[in-house]
Structure 1
Amino acid sequence: MAGPLNLHLHFGGGAELLFDKIKKREIELPALKKYLPDSSNDKWTIRELLLWIKDNLLREREELFLQGDSVRPGILVLINDADWELYGELEYELQNNDTIMFISTLHGG
């Protein structure tokens, strides 16, 4: 069973407003089976990370960040400065010290 996982989370483009206006966070995720005992995975993926973010960091207006089990359209996700589409999006297995960025491209007018 994999142990704790350290990640660097960045929120920008207005997304930080949903997270107490904090743009950068260093987090330590517990072993996945401790957080989601019924999970069929042993390793954290972006899918489980989004659940953890919703439960632990998201402070308001969940619908502005999440849609279903993913981020809503208009939120750009980067894994170590590359588009998450190159890594398999929700299925990407997180690695220790990964940097995950969430950037909102939606702006009011």
Structure 2
Amino acid sequence: TMEPLKVHIQFGGGAELLFDKIKRREVELPALKKYYPDCKHEKWLIKDLLVWIKDNLLKERPELFLQGDSVRPGILVLINDADWELYGELDYELQQNDTIMFISTLHGG
């Protein structure tokens, strides 16, 4: 289906400071091929979402959120309240109304 994919993105533990202090937002992702014409897969994966977040939501200092094509060490990612390691991390295929939470475990600095 080509309907937009709705996902809920949440930030906590200080990660929200990189996103204008907004802790939660619902986003509508366009068809992946529209966004990424040379993409080899059809469905949004978390790794695609990270690039979308960088392009659309991250206002400054992307290196505090991303490292390479993943989140930087010290940022915990939860998919519907469970550790993303249980879901295959970057290769998890996003589903309608998923909640993806990014929690910074780094304090101070």
Normalising by structure 2, we get a TM-score of 0.97
Q: Where does the alignment leave 5 or more consecutive residues of structure 2 unmatched?
A: none
Look up the equivalent residue of 2:47 and give its one-letter code.
Answer: R
Give the equivalent residue in structure 1 for 2:14: 14
In 2, Cα distance between the equivalents of 1:3 and 1:31? Answer: 7
Alpha-carbon shift at residue 3 of structure 1 (Å) = 2.9
Which residue is equivalent to 1:64?
64
Match of 2:28 in 1: 28
- Give the 3-state SS of the residue equivalent to 2:17 in structure 1: helix
Which digits, 9 at most, give the CA deviation of each residue in 1:25-57, with x for residues without a partner? 000000000000100010000000000000000
Q: CA RMSD in A?
A: 0.9
Between the two proteins, what is the percent identity of the paired residues? 80
Please state how far the C-alpha of 1:61 moved relative to its aligned partner: 1.0
CA distance in 2, matches of 1:10, 1:32: 21
Partners in 2 of 1:84 and 1:34 — Cα distance?
Answer: 26
Q: Secondary structure at the match of 1:17?
A: helix
Q: Structure 1 CA distance, aligned partners of 2:94 and 2:76?
A: 17
Q: Work out the CA distance in 1 between the residues paired with 2:2 and 2:45.
A: 12
- Matched residue type, 1:101: M
Q: Provide the aligned length of Structure 1 versus Structure 2.
A: 109
Looking at structure 2, the residues matched to 93 and 20 of structure 1 have their Cα atoms a distance apart, in angstroms, of 27
CA 1:42/1:2 → structure 2, altered by over 3 Å: closer, same or farther?
A: farther
Q: Write out the 4+ residue segments of structure 1 that deviate beyond 4 Å after TM superposition.
A: none
1:2 touches 1:32 (CA, 8 Å); kept in 2? no
TM-score, normalised by the number of residues in structure 1: 0.97
Query: Which structure 1 residue ranges, 5 or more long, are not aligned?
Result: none
